[in-house]
Chains A and B, each alone.
Chain A
């Protein structure tokens, strides 16, 4: 985890602030919210706490691009968007042993948990996948979010061809590979979940025996 985030934060804030308004002149911000003022506000407004250090305010190119609502809406940045998706796709690491699916019961646990990586969490804890926060999955869980689409019967509706497995894996590993400003975290790329956890999530989505596919 820490290595991934560190390497990302190596991308300096300066670059970020330049990119954020690229192609949109001053960006969508009104008077007073210029880059220098904004940067000063960030610098004076936050402090490191636990594992959530100030470095987390440094953006990578994707985050910088997606911090401009005009880029997110597609009003600006069409070309850049394609570049960002390609760059994110290139980060996807496929299963090291060629096995796609793990244990759906473990996957359910990962999907339920929204823990990990906050300023009050320890570095060595097992992170959750945050899935139910935004998606419906197993119909047994009535407390699910709707920021993302329902994934109920995900595998049943799609089958388990290699193409489906590849698409699903890529979406979990790095959601920005197919949608530059998706609201979904880049779970594998950013080290939020492990390869094993992704396999278990894959099983939750695609195993015919999973509660998701009942």
Chain B
């Protein structure tokens, strides 16, 4: 991928132009850490490396993290996934797909005003484990689920 994502500063400048300037005061609360787009993590090609670049080495499986998704996706282009954390002080929720060329799909930094319950839709190139990685109390926890991607239609 050859592009330069906007720096946080530029985002804020743009956002300011859009009338978000008034919120700067809120943005600098310590809870919502404003990281720049983590290019290295999004472009890394192995799970351990991605964890390392996210500062999530040593993440452990936790029953308090849930990944909700159907066992089979009818199409890999759109796979609905929901992550729920029951851990106190959850500040980040990420979705990773083990067998995608780049594992990290999406990362959500959530403030104290959020219920740690996020749903999105991701692309999967093939049947794979999908990992929800949660940061809570400064530590990382995971939940993993295999989602089968099927071939549909007549054209395949």
Contact = CB atoms under 8 A, between A and B. Distances in A.
Direct contact of A and B (CB under 8 A): yes
B25 interface: no
B150 A113 contact: no
Contacts of B30: none
Interface in B136-156: 148, 150-156
B54 to A, nearest CB: 34
How many B residues touch the partner, as a band?
under 10
A18 interface: no
B155 A115 contact: yes
Among A112, A113, A115, A143, residue most surrounded by chain B Cβ atoms (within 10 Å): A143
Contacts of A63: none
A133 B151 CA distance: 10
A151 B156 CA distance: 19
A112 B151 CA distance: 10
Given A115-B156, A142-B72, 11 more contacts: A112-B151, A112-B156, A113-B156, A114-B154, A114-B155, A114-B156, A115-B155, A118-B155, A130-B154, A143-B150, A143-B151
Interface of A: 112-115, 118, 130, 133, 142-143
Interface of B: 72, 148, 150-156
18 contacts: A112-B151, A112-B156, A113-B156, A114-B153, A114-B154, A114-B155, A114-B156, A115-B155, A115-B156, A118-B155, A130-B154, A133-B154, A142-B72, A142-B148, A142-B150, A143-B150, A143-B151, A143-B152
